Structure 1
Amino acid sequence: MPTWLIVVVVIGGITAALNLAAFALDRRDRRSEEAWKRTLPASVRRRVESGLRPGGGVDTPPWERRRRENDPAYRTRVLVDELCEIGRGRGFLSVHAGKDGRTREIGAELHEAGGKQRMLSAHAAVRAELGQAHARELEAAWDGVGDWRG
């Protein structure tokens, strides 16, 4: 067998082995990223999957933005995430300011989009994420919004 043919076969084999190794590493990286996402809390996972908020650096395509804007379930998730942030931060009620204005705006938007049922599902999501004490505070903050009686 000629020497040049042996060299071509060896180089081809080495190239194939390197391509296979690169493919395996790429798959492992993608798998580990999915495993990492599964360990995140639900609210953070939703933000990672949906991209960063405006000004955060992820440019969402226009067709995806339109789909999200018209999807009531997506809008509800965004509002529930905002409610959880308010609950963790300043709270739904305060001694000096009373009921949080933004919390009441969110309640009104939820009521307009899906009535008391949508408000109940958002309340259940807040209770699941923050606990009963925050949920009771949210009930009091929403008192008088739509059909809600806290």
Structure 2
Amino acid sequence: MKSLWKRLCALGRHEGGQGIVELALTLPLVLALLCGMLELGWICANKLQLDNICRESTRYGITYAASNAENQAMVKNRAVALATDNLKTGLTIDVTYSDASDYRAGDLTVTLSYNLPTLTPLLGIFSGNSIPLKSTCSMKMG
């Protein structure tokens, strides 16, 4: 009886593959957290850059105001000039005035839209491989 008990206790002492099993259980969670942190940083950095481009383009439009059509072209050119290479290709720029009859009397509103491609395929499963970013800035003309 004692020898059977010793054999059963000895079976529980072999823990040769425990580390590999723990790694296999925790690695997907750690990789998902890492991918999530990378994606969040990528999204926040590009959103901040889009906000800065929008604000600077609007400021440029109210400072160097020419005619209506020239001012819209100047604002769009300024936004494209400030954008980095990854933002230039798919950037949508919309320039509107609150007073259509006299563009210097109202507000200048610049809206930038961009579909940001995902860095990792993990977020692409849920969002369709792109995240829509939008930034709007409005400033008083004159």
Please give the TM-score of this superposition, normalised by the length of structure 2: 0.34
**Greater fraction helix:** 1
**Greater fraction strand:** 2
Please give the TM-score of this superposition, normalised by the length of structure 1: 0.33
Q: Which has the higher contact order (CA 8 A, sep 6+)?
A: 2
- Bigger radius of gyration, 1 or 2? 2
